[in-house]
């Protein structure tokens, strides 16, 4: 469904993406992992047309995305940092977005799921970080799209909200949707992800199923398995 082909992107002298080749055509949840500055958010922004790559191609449903816009209606996107007008209420923000884009079918369901009813008439500038994130998630997920991309979805959420979000994503996965998630919470990845794509210094370092990674490195903990991979490759470089 989504394919990146030889993708490069630099900001000045900073090479962020260095020939990314990867495709996401399997249903289920893929975690896009990597340290800060590895290119995860830039990759997502390129897909959404928020950043133009220097070279390479991006495909959505086998069609090139460059200079196209309709494909975005098939993607639900949660940005890592959402900036809302501080003087508008949560309800005013939701109403404004549903006026701009039709087809929001899950507003009431998500209000209940994230326990937002008491927060809707409060100005965004007065909401806690956790409640702002719930509004962010509501806006991202209120459209029933075949692809869902979430950048650090659990940031600031209380335990109940995280449990509800996980259940929601499991239900979406069962419908055959493609879900991409970036996060630094390894426990979230271990519980939810089917596949792992690991970026390092602007390149795909490895791309495999969660179970394959754990089995190949004789680990039950993803964080330790990743550490083993990185450590082993570092030793190879030292001995070259």
Compute the distance between CA of residue 93 and CA of residue 69 in angstroms, rounded to an integer. Answer: 23
pLDDT in tens, 56-69: 999 999 999 988 98
DSSP string, 58-70: EEETTEE-TT--G
Asked whether residue 124 carries a pLDDT value surpassing 50, the answer given is: yes
**Strand-pair partners of 230:** none
pLDDT mean over 11-29? 92
Instruction: With CA atoms as reference, report the closest residue to 162 among 223, 115, 107.
Output: 115
Instruction: With CA atoms as reference, report the closest residue to 212 among 204, 222, 203.
Output: 222
Query: What band does 199 get if pLDDT is binned at 50, 70 and 90?
Result: very high
pLDDT mean over 97-124? 94
- pLDDT given for residue 232 in this prediction: 65
- pLDDT given for residue 102 in this prediction: 86
User: Between 131 and 1, where is the model more confident?
Assistant: 131
Compute the distance between CA of residue 140 and CA of residue 202 in angstroms, rounded to an integer. Answer: 26
- pLDDT given for residue 229 in this prediction: 85
Model pTM score = 0.91
CA distances from 42 to 77, 90, 159 (A): 14, 28, 29
pLDDT in tens, 37-88: 899 999 999 999 999 999 999 999 999 998 898 999 999 999 988 788 999 9
Domain boundaries, the chain: 2-239
Asked whether residue 238 carries a pLDDT value surpassing 50, the answer given is: no
Pick one of 3.40.50.300, 3.40.50.10800, 3.30.1490.100, 3.90.105.10 as the CATH number of 2-239: 3.40.50.300
- pLDDT given for residue 235 in this prediction: 52
Between helices 129-141 and 159-174, what is the axis angle to 10°? 10
Asked whether residue 184 carries a pLDDT value surpassing 90, the answer given is: no
Query: What band does 27 get if pLDDT is binned at 50, 70 and 90?
Result: confident
Q: Provide the percentage of residues in the chain whose pLDDT is more than 70.
A: 96
Residue 41 burial by Cβ neighbours in a 10 Å radius (0-12, 13-18, 19+) = buried
Asked whether residue 33 carries a pLDDT value surpassing 50, the answer given is: yes
């Amino acid at each position: 469904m989504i394919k990146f082909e030889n993708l490069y992107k630099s900001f000045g002298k900073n090479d962020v993406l260095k020939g990314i080749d990867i495709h996401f055509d399997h249903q289920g949840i893929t975690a896009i992992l990597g340290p800060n500055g590895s290119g995860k958010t830039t990759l997502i922004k390129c897909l959404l047309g928020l950043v133009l790559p220097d070279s390479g191609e991006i495909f959505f449903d086998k069609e090139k995305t460059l200079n196209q816009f309709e494909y975005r209606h098939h993607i639900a996107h949660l940005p890592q940092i959402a900036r809302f007008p501080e003087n508008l209420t949560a309800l005013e923000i939701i109403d404004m977005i549903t006026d701009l884009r039709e087809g929001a079918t899950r507003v009431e369901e998500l209000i209940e799921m994230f326990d937002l009813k008491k927060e809707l008439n409060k100005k965004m500038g007065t909401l806690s970080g956790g409640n702002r994130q719930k509004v962010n998630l509501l806006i991202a997920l209120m459209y029933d799209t075949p692809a869902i991309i979430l950048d650090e979805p659990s940031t600031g959420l209380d335990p109940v909200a995280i449990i509800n979000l996980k259940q929601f994503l499991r239900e979406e996965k069962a419908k055959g949707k493609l879900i991409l998630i970036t996060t630094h919470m390894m426990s979230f990845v271990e519980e939810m992800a089917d596949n792992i794509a690991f970026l390092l210094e602007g390149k795909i370092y490895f791309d495999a199923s969660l179970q394959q990674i754990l089995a190949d490195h004789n680990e039950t903990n993803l964080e330790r398995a990743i550490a083993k991979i990185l450590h082993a490759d570092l030793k190879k470089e030292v001995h070259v």
